[in-house]
Amino acid sequence: MNFLRNTFAVIVGLAVAGIIITLGIKLNPSWINYSQLTPFQNWESVLKSVQHKPYFFVALLVSTGIASTVGGVVTAIIVKYAKVAYAILIGFILLFIAMLDIIIFPYHPTFYKITIFLTFFPFAWMGGKITEVIFERKKKMAAKLLNKKN
């Protein structure tokens, strides 16, 4: 049963991260010039059109950092054990997808290719640690309340 729960947690964490990245990409309407739901359907044309606009890639880096953190938090909340490990798994999966994007589409600037390694993994780890700290504090508070009743 834990396997299904953990798989569901990873899928939900990736979905949340994907939604946040999509919102980050659609932040500036001049970057996306069509009305489709996600920019990933025409990703190559988007990259070609913003190839010389570094603010797009800065916004993409910021949104991936936020998405990794929130995706890691969501995943860590759902799983029962090894919260930080599953949050880090979200970061690795997102980093793998980003590396495929960089390999398939050669329109990324160099600073993006380098700094992408510094966003997914550390921010996902931070999301897992945030959740772990919150859960530990709740356990301590519950233990204190139990001791006061006795």
Question: Mind listing the pLDDT tens digit for each residue in 37-50?
Answer: 565 667 777 777 77
* Residue numbers of the chain with a pLDDT score lower than 70: 31-41, 150
pLDDT of residue 34: 60
pLDDT of residue 147: 84
pLDDT of residue 69: 96
pLDDT of residue 146: 83
pLDDT of residue 127: 94
In the chain, where the domains are located = 2-149
Burial class, 26, CB count within 10 angstroms (exposed 0-12 / middle 13-18 / buried 19+): middle
- The Cα 105–Cα 26 span in angstroms is 19
Question: Mind listing the pLDDT tens digit for each residue in 89-112?
Answer: 999 999 999 999 999 888 888 898
Helix/strand/coil percent split, the chain, to 5: 80, 0, 20
Asked if residues 103 and 52 have their Cβ atoms less than 8 Å apart, the reply is no
